[in-house]
Amino acid sequence: MQKIDVKAAVEACFPQYKSDLAKLVAFDSKNAPAAQNAPFGEGVLKTLEAALGIAKGFGFDTTIDPDGYYGYAQVGEGEEMLGVLGHLDVVPADNAEDWDTSPFEMTEKDGMLYGRGVIDDKGPMLASLYALKILLDNGAKLNKRIRFIFCTDEESLWRGVKKYIEKEEHPTYGFTPDADFPLLYAEKGLVEYNLIANDETVIDFKGGTAYNAVADKASVPYCDEIAKTMDKLGYKFDKVDNRLVAKGKAAHAMVPEEGINAISHLAEALAKTGETGTMLRFLAEKANDHFGVNIFGDVSDDVSGKLKFNVGLVDFKPGVQTVGIDIRFPVTYEKEKVDKALEEAGKEYGIKVEQFDYLRSLYLDVNTPLVKTLMQAYQEVTGDMKSEPISTGGATFARSMDNIIAFGALMPGALCTEHQANECASIADMKKAMEVYTRAFELLAT
């Protein structure tokens, strides 16, 4: 293989990278009603087909699941397989009025790329694909197969990757470009629940877009008394179509303290104005902080930190009130303790607790060869010898299979905008990430 000027190669291919990323961003690939061969909606399927089309254009062999759950692109030969796992679905961007640009029209401005999916996870997955193309275009000979696994349901129930695991060969080892550099060695356990109450008389209360996002809006029928209470509490709201819409700030459920939960603010105001109901009392009295202290106590460990608690969804109707919550618990804490504490708290209010989703925690030894090699690639390219492997509350595909680790693409200190309006990626950082991935493939597979 000839010596590669990787930085120059990245610069040369980046215009085409942007063009291909714009194609992927243009599809609204949120979870949607199923269609033929599209279990999560036509937007997701079209994105999957487009990504595989890009890989096929690079000369990779491509396969799509006949039921539309996943696809993969592969190159190389050998018994060992290096897997690169990523996802093409996105969290909803239905609040287009909060965006400065169209969420599904990639926009370049002030050294940034804007659009839903540019950093989570369309942009990083495409960057890793381009990184391997740089090596191959410069004569690299692979000593194993490399398979890019494109999944379709990461932002919800991971049904795409579960179907892949059920039906296909598992990688020998690999990484997912769906987190932070330098890499993640510990991921908290994740469990999501539906809480259900059955009061016959309640206020019409709705809010949130996903379990794993801090709710930036929640609403009830407009009432002067509620508006005055919101003002008194210092909480922001608007009057829209005769509804009072509480305004918060979206954030990922792994860091709910970085957001402002509109559901929690409005629940507090409703309780103070005399609105009643078991679920409303639970929200106001128990589910009212980012760490779930009133339910679980002070739960933390030295490896992964505090338990995180997020009220992501609320839907009150006469006869049935539903709340969706997301909990990230420390890697050394037992999931059974989370279940028991929540059930006991719910029982006090007559609330039924139903598990919606669960992902095991992940904890890897930082001295394994895979971790050390990926750290080497990162350090050689960036010169950053200070950043250490990371413990996180995020849930990446790394925990879906053995010997997979989350590796980039967000650089240390970079603006974190996934799951938010105006999601963006730094052009300079994405170019650097592409260099890191190129070096990683060189070390792992040539």
Convert the pLDDT of each residue in 219-239 to its tens digit: 999 999 999 999 999 999 999
* Closest to 128 (Cα-Cα) out of 162, 82, 166: 82
What tokens appear for 270 in the block? 């409703």
pLDDT per residue over 17-64, tens digit each? Answer: 999 999 999 999 999 999 999 999 999 999 999 999 999 999 999 999
* Closest to 105 (Cα-Cα) out of 18, 7, 168: 18
The mean pLDDT value for 132-137 works out to: 97
CA distances from 345 to 52, 264, 340, 398 (A): 47, 17, 9, 32
Pairing relation of β-strands 179-180 and 352-359?
unpaired
pLDDT of residue 209 exceeding 80, the answer is yes
pLDDT of residue 1 exceeding 70, the answer is no
Burial class (CB in 10 A: 0-12, 13-18, 19+), 353: middle
Distance in angstroms (rounded) separating the CA atoms of residues 418 and 283: 26
Distance in angstroms (rounded) separating the CA atoms of residues 118 and 135: 23
The mean pLDDT value for 188-205 works out to: 95
Domains of the chain: 6-187+362-445 (3.40.630.10), 189-359 (3.30.70.360)
Distance in angstroms (rounded) separating the CA atoms of residues 157 and 284: 28
- What pLDDT is attached to residue 2? 66
pLDDT of residue 393 exceeding 90, the answer is no
Return the active site residues: 89, 154
pLDDT per residue over 310-364, tens digit each? Answer: 999 999 999 999 999 999 999 999 999 999 999 999 999 999 999 999 988 988 8
* Closest to 98 (Cα-Cα) out of 13, 216, 256: 216
Distance in angstroms (rounded) separating the CA atoms of residues 87 and 125: 8
Asked if 16 contacts 155 with a C-beta cutoff of 8 angstroms, the reply is: no
Alpha-carbon dihedral 103, 104, 106, 109, rounded to 10 degrees: -20
Any idea what DSSP says for residue 27? S
CA distances from 35 to 38, 140, 159, 361, 436 (A): 5, 41, 16, 33, 38
Burial class (CB in 10 A: 0-12, 13-18, 19+), 375: buried
